Amino acid sequence: MIKINNTESDMNAEQQNLRINNEEEKRSTIFERVRALGFPIGEYVVVGGVMEAHGLRKANDIDIVVTKKYFDELSQLPEWELQEFNYPDDRKYWLKGNGIDIMPGFSYNDAYRPDTEQLIAGADIINGIPFIKLEELLKWKRAANREKDQADIETIERYMAKL
């Protein structure tokens, strides 16, 4: 016999599966875009986009921190345009291309200045892609303390409290 009417619990399960599939769909974009770059593991960590990887919010762009050596290699390639920041620190220069920003460091003035190699080594691997730990992103956002970071800080704190 074919079941025509779904029970409320069946509908909730179906709706929940749909929600999960939609969340995975949202997250797939960042994974596909980073994977397409072909960057070698151990040379980079994704910092802008980690919230999307965790399903917290869609990333507007992708920011990737790479080792100084790899940054120098990438800067020689025509697909990356060398840019200059307006403030002097380890991110004086960065590369831009196709909605992706590449930086040789991830800091905010003197308030947050982690070691790039440690960020890369301590990355969370999600679907084969190294992402900065949420704890580190939270430190950066607290140091920057810009208006646009306030909602992210609250979102990350709520998410981490549930883990």
| pTM score of the predicted model | 0.77
Instruction: Give residue 148's pLDDT.
Output: 84
Structure tokens that stand for 39 in this block: 């960057």
Instruction: Give residue 88's pLDDT.
Output: 54
Instruction: Give residue 37's pLDDT.
Output: 96
Percent of the chain that is helix, strand, coil (3-state, to 5): 45, 20, 35
Query: Helices in the chain by DSSP H: which ranges?
Result: 8-37, 50-53, 68-74, 116-121, 134-144, 147-162
pLDDT of 158 higher than 90: yes
Structure tokens that stand for 103 in this block: 């930086």
Cα distance between the two ends of the chain: 43
Averaged pLDDT for residues 4-14: 40
